[in-house]
Amino acid sequence: MEHYLVKDLMVPISEYAVVGVGTPLIEAIRVLEKAQEIYTVSKYQHRAILVLDENGHIVGKISQLRALKALEPEFDFNDTIAELQKFKFSEAYIAQLQNESRSQRKIITERALREAANKKVEEFMQAPSPGEYVSDDCSLDTAILQLTAGPHLSLLVTRNRQIVGILRIADVFAAVFHEMMTLKP
Amino acid sequence: MNELEKLFHRIVQRVNINLRELNFDVSPFAIELIPPDQMSKFYAFYGITPDHPPDLHFEHSAIAGSYFLGKSRVRNSLLYKSDIRGDELKHKDQTISFKNLTLTLTKDEIIDIEDSALIKTLVHNYSHDPETPEKFFIKDTLAMDYSNIHGSPSDGCFLAPYATVDLTTMRDCVIGAYSYIQAVEISHLNVDPGTIWVNSPGKFNFFYKYPLNLLDRYVSLSPDKVPWGILIDFIEERKIEFQRVFDFVNLEAIESIPKTASLDRYAVVLPNIKIADNVLVSQRAYIENSTLGRGANAQENCFIINSLLEEYNITAHGAKIIETELGSGGFVGFNSFLCGKKGSRLKIGAGCVIMPHTIIDIEQALEIPANQLVWGLVRNKDELAKNSIALEKMSNIEPSFSQGEMHFEGNGALFVKAFKERIHHILEVNGAFFADGKNTGHAQKNQKLSLNTIQPFQFGPMEGMYPNIRILP
């Protein structure tokens, strides 16, 4: 186990569901569904979609959480909330404003679903952040520390500055705890 | 490059260094801010009174058209038509309190301006910073037209036109045009234009922001233009009247002024005016065809035109009141613009608090009931309903409230009390309650004010600069 490297556990990019910048959410979900359908012949279960730019570089990721966020109505006062934080209003006051706004808007309506379906992926994708990259020849120890220290549920695996795969927390979890179970008492 | 240009260039660089973290460059705004030929055109002047003996120190500075009263020092700075009023500075042996700490001052407080450029700026009140009780510092700061630095020490800041910082120590901040900030202490803050923020930590927090597309009409600033808008034009149109009072050494006194009232020699007064007892009209105030009731108070840079102001009301620094009737005890805050029209007048009931930087600009007559708090932009009845609240209702607010673009959190009663106490204090120090030789204030004391003028170099590489001067009693 201690000799495991990131590349031993990562999902290769070629196995992943990908869409281009400019794709509507509904198309992205269809791509994901197709990928799920071939789950039976592939060993990887797909829960996220990668977004590529025109040069084929990964510029973002859409998880289930991000897709649901696309359904949330856009609050008119997002800028106001940022201002209220800047001008020392309490989190309780800001949360109260957000709740009041949410209570006035329903998420599951035909109109809201139609609007969300047409949103472009770049509007709600998660762009890669500096702490999200890990080299494919790193030890699993390093990757575990990176996952536990940060907010990410997966890491982008690089080789020679190119993204070559995704290291998912579920695969790391399975590998580590499988090893634990095999320990002799 | 002559000495004046070198000085200005150096000030701009110093301000930029302080604002580098905000990534804010004042250079585009500074271009053409000061026409060099104007700096040798106007004299500077200072007041002498028994209460405020002169203690002035000018060093390597240009101070055209600027006025000084009280203890001030100006070094490596450029002041243009600015008022440095040190008549409310703290005194030696005065005890100040901050929470449970008290401190006795070992010397008189000084307004200390260094490496700064102040354009048509008012500096007044005393420093409320307990860390530097004897020094009201303004350094590495650029303040543009009609800004107010009121009891607010400043280090490395930019104030856009019509910005006011009140009772707040500021460091490395950008204050946008027509913003009013009263927040005790701020640092590294970039405040958008039209932001009204009154924050007393632990007590209350008031916030309103003008819609920018609507504010632009009144005051606007961009890097490639000089400031423009209705508020700028309004003053430009009346500039000629000020030239008259500044051009003459001796003006004829207006005999109808009561002995208990004070009309500053550098105020513009046009027919027909009525001024009652205990009225204070400060310098650079402009009064035309108006009545000021007992104890009314018209502060620096204010304009009162075709209006009736009843007793004990306050027109704060830079406020403008046109075609308006203001009931007794009314307060019109800094830089507010109350613009009724002939035949469509604005009536404001007694005891109203018009918050600093409020714009009431109406086409149809509008009446504001007594004892209301008003803020923001009001152009009709609907906007009045959105941007006002009865002071009594405000007093019952806790813990929070929002209405339109206004947000409030904290104790409403403390907020109202703070305003009311401040209004009373302003009337008191300005002598509104003077009677039987007691309760004297600025209205009475200013009658014992005389003025001296000082001149800049007129020729050569130092043209526009002033000689180093030390003035003592």
pLDDT digits (tens, 9 = 90+) for B235-249: 999 988 888 777 765
Give the distance from residue B398's alpha carbon to the nearest chain A alpha carbon, in angstroms: 12
Could you give the count of Cα atoms lying within 13 Å of A26 in the half-sphere of its Cβ?
6
Does A43 score more than 70 pLDDT? Answer: no
**Which residue shows structure tokens 């800001």?**
A94
User: Look-up: residue for tokens 């599951």?
Assistant: A108
Contact B199 A87 (CB under 8 A): yes
Check whether residue B211 and residue B347 sit in a common domain.
no
Cα B399 from chain centre? 31
What CATH number should be reported for the domain holding residue B396? 2.160.10.10
Please give the average per-residue pLDDT across A82-89, as a whole number: 94
Query: CA triplet B22, B28, B29: central angle to 5 degrees?
Result: 85
Element holding A79 (H helix, E strand): helix A78-86
Split at pLDDT 50, 70, 90, the class of A183 is: confident
Least confident of A69-78, A103-112, B66-75: A69-78
Q: How far is B411 from chain A (nearest CA, A)?
A: 13
CB contacts of A83 in chain B (<8 Å) are 192, 207, 209
Instruction: Give the per-residue pLDDT at B174.
Output: 98
Residues B208 and B312 in one domain: no
Q: CATH 3.10.580.10 spans which residues of chain A?
A: 6-69+118-181
Return the pLDDT at A82: 86
Place of tokens 């003053």: B235
Give residue B279's pLDDT. 96
Residue B352 has pLDDT above 70, yes or no: yes
Which whole number is the average pLDDT over B35-50?
Answer: 88
- What's the confidence (pLDDT) of residue B11? 97
| Average pLDDT value over all residues in chain A | 85
What is the rounded average pLDDT of the residues B349-365? 98
Residues A6-69+118-181, CATH architecture: Roll (3.10)
Statement: residue B60 has pLDDT above 60: yes
Distance from CA of A73 to the nearest CA of B (A): 20
By residue count, chain A amounts to: 185
For tokens 């714009």, name the residue: B359
Residues B182 and B243 in one domain: no
Do B324 and B342 lie in one domain? The reply is: yes
Q: Would you list which residues of chain B are within 8 Å, Cβ to Cβ, of chain A?
A: 183, 189, 192, 195, 197, 199, 201, 205, 207, 209, 399-400, 402, 405, 407, 409
Residue B433's pLDDT is 95
**How does pLDDT run across A139-173, given as a tens digit for each residue?**
988 899 999 988 888 899 999 888 889 998 988 99
Q: What percent of chain B has pLDDT over 70?
A: 98
Which residue in chain B has the smallest CA separation from A77?
A: B405
Instruction: State whether A93 and B197 contact (CB < 8 Å).
Output: no
Q: State residue B172's pLDDT score.
A: 98
Contact A90 B409 (CB under 8 A): yes
Inform me whether the pLDDT recorded for B250 exceeds 60.
Answer: no
Q: Is the minimum CB–CB distance between A83 and chain B shorter than 8 Å? A: yes
Q: Which residues of B touch A86 (CB under 8 A)?
A: 189
Residue B343: per-residue pLDDT: 94
pLDDT of residue A70: 82
Q: Average pLDDT, stretch A67-86?
A: 78
Q: Is the pLDDT of residue B283 over 90?
A: no
Q: What is the pLDDT of residue B4?
A: 93
Whole-angstrom distance, CA of residue B453 vs CA of residue B423: 33
Residue-wise pLDDT tens digits, B389-409? 999 999 999 999 999 999 999
> Across chain B, what does the average pLDDT equal?
93
The C-alpha of A139 sits at a distance from chain B's nearest C-alpha, in angstroms, of 38
Residues in chain B: 473
Token pair in block for residue B256:
């109808």
Average of per-residue pLDDT across B410-437: 95
Widest pairwise Cα distance in chain A: 59
Minimal CA separation from B24 to chain A, in Å:
18
The predicted pLDDT at position B291 comes to: 96
Set of chain A residues whose Cβ sits within 8 Å of the Cβ of B405: 80
Phi-psi category of residue A112: left, alpha or beta, with phi > 0 → left and psi -120 to 50 → alpha: alpha
How high is the pLDDT of residue B464?
94
Q: Which of B361, B352, B351, B294 is closest to B321 using CA atoms?
A: B361
The shortest C-alpha distance from B203 to chain A (Å) reads 12
Cβ–Cβ gap A87/B400 under 8 Å = no
Indicate whether B224 pLDDT > 80: no
Does residue B15 surpass a pLDDT of 90? yes
Closest Cβ opposite residue B205 in set A80, A83, A89: A89
Q: Are residues B156 and B260 in the same domain?
A: no
Q: Is A94 on the interface with B (CB under 8 A)?
A: no
Most confident of A10-14, A74-78, B22-26, B257-261: B22-26
Based on the domain organization, do B420 and B298 belong to the same domain?
Answer: yes
Optimal mutation site among A85, A88, A94, interface B, most CBs of chain B within 10 A: A88
Q: How confident is the model at residue A79 (pLDDT cuts 50, 70, 90)?
A: confident
Q: Enter the ipTM.
A: 0.90
Which carries the bigger pLDDT value, residue B34 or residue A76? B34
- Interface size between A and B, measured as CB pairs under 8 A: 28
Q: Taking a C-beta distance cutoff of 8 angstroms, is the pair B195, B178 a contact? A: no
Give the pLDDT band of residue B255 (cuts 50, 70, 90): low
Domain of residue B167 covers 3-235+450-471
Interchain CB distance below 8 Å, A89 and B409: yes
Task: Name the pLDDT band for A39 (thresholds 50, 70, 90).
Answer: low
Do B213 and B297 lie in one domain? The reply is no
Q: Is the pLDDT of residue A77 over 80?
A: no
| Residue of A76, A77, A84, A89 for testing the chain B interface, max B β-carbons within 10 Å | A89
Cβ–Cβ gap B207/A90 under 8 Å: no
Minimal CA separation from B174 to chain A, in Å: 14
- Give the pLDDT band of residue B219 (cuts 50, 70, 90): very high
- Please tell me the pTM assigned to this model: 0.81
Domain count within chain B: 2
Same domain, B176 and B292: no
Residue A2 scores a pLDDT above 80? no
* CB-based contact A93 B409, cutoff 8 Å: yes
User: What are the chain B neighbours of A84 within 8 Å (beta carbons)?
Assistant: 207, 407
More confident residue, A148 or B338: B338
Out of B201, B207, B400, the one facing A96 most closely (by C-beta) is B400
Claim to verify: residue B280 and residue B331 sit in the same structural domain: yes
Q: Which residue of B has its CA nearest to A88?
A: B205
Between A108 and B107, name the one with better pLDDT: B107
The pLDDT value given to residue B254: 66
pLDDT digits (tens, 9 = 90+) for A110-143: 888 888 899 999 988 988 888 889 999 999 888 9
In 3D, which of B203, B205, B204, B207 has the Cα closest to residue B99? B203
Per-residue b or e along B42-51, where b marks 16 or more CB atoms closer than 10 Å to that residue's CB: bbbbbbebee
Please give the share of chain B, as a percent, with pLDDT higher than 90: 81
Closest-CA residue of chain B to A86: B189
pLDDT tens readout for residues B314-323: 999 999 999 9
Q: Under a CB-based contact definition with an 8 Å cutoff, are residues B350 and B371 in contact?
A: yes
Q: Who wins on pLDDT, A97 or B393?
A: B393
Number of neighbours of residue A15 by Cβ within 10 angstroms: 15
| pLDDT (tens digit per residue) in B136-185 | 999 999 999 999 999 999 999 999 999 999 999 999 999 999 999 999 99
* Strand runs labelled E in A17-78: 17-20, 49-52, 58-62
pLDDT of residue A12: 87
Whether B31 and B127 map to the same domain: the answer is yes
Residue B188 sits in the same domain as residue B260: no
How many CA atoms does the CB half-sphere of B71 hold within 13 Å? 15
